[in-house]
Amino acid sequence: MQLICEEHHQTVLEIDFISQMRTIQYKILKNLFSQGKIDGVVGIGGSTGLSLVVSVIRELPMFFPKFAVTTVITEAGSLIAASDIIPVWSISDLGGGERVNAIEAEVLNRVAAAAVSASSPVPHSFKHLPTVFATQFGNTTPHIIVAKDYLSKAGYDVVAFHTLGRTGGYVMERLIELGMAEGVLDVTTHELVDEVAGGVLSASYEGKFRLTEAGSKGIPQVVLPGAVDMINFWSPETVPEKFRERCAYEHSKGLVTLIRATGEELYKVGILMGERLNSSRGPTAIIFPLKGFSIIDNDPSASPKNFPPGAYCQKMNFHENEVTFEKTSKPWYDPESDKRLLEGLLEKLDLSRPNVDLIIVDHNINDPEVAILSAKLLESMMKKEWKKGILPEIPNLRYRELATLKI
pLDDT in tens, 284-308: 999 999 999 999 999 999 999 899 9
Q: How many CB atoms lie under 10 A from the CB of residue 103?
A: 13
> Do 397 and 363 form a contact (C-beta atoms < 8 A)?
yes
Give CATH superfamily name and number for 131-404.
Uncharacterised protein family UPF0261, NC domain (3.40.50.12030)
Mean pLDDT of the 314-322 span = 96
> Do 119 and 1 form a contact (C-beta atoms < 8 A)?
yes
What's the pLDDT at 120? 84
Fold match, 4-119 / 131-404: yes
Separation of alpha carbons 45 and 68, rounded Å:
8
What's the pLDDT at 13? 45
Q: What are the boundaries of each domain within the chain?
A: 4-119, 131-404
CATH topology of domain 4-119: Rossmann fold (3.40.50)
pLDDT in tens, 27-79: 999 999 999 999 999 999 888 888 889 999 999 998 899 999 999 988 788 88
> Do 345 and 274 form a contact (C-beta atoms < 8 A)?
yes
Rg (the chain; Cα; Å): 24
pLDDT in tens, 137-183: 999 999 999 999 999 999 999 999 999 999 999 999 999 999 999 99
What's the pLDDT at 121? 75
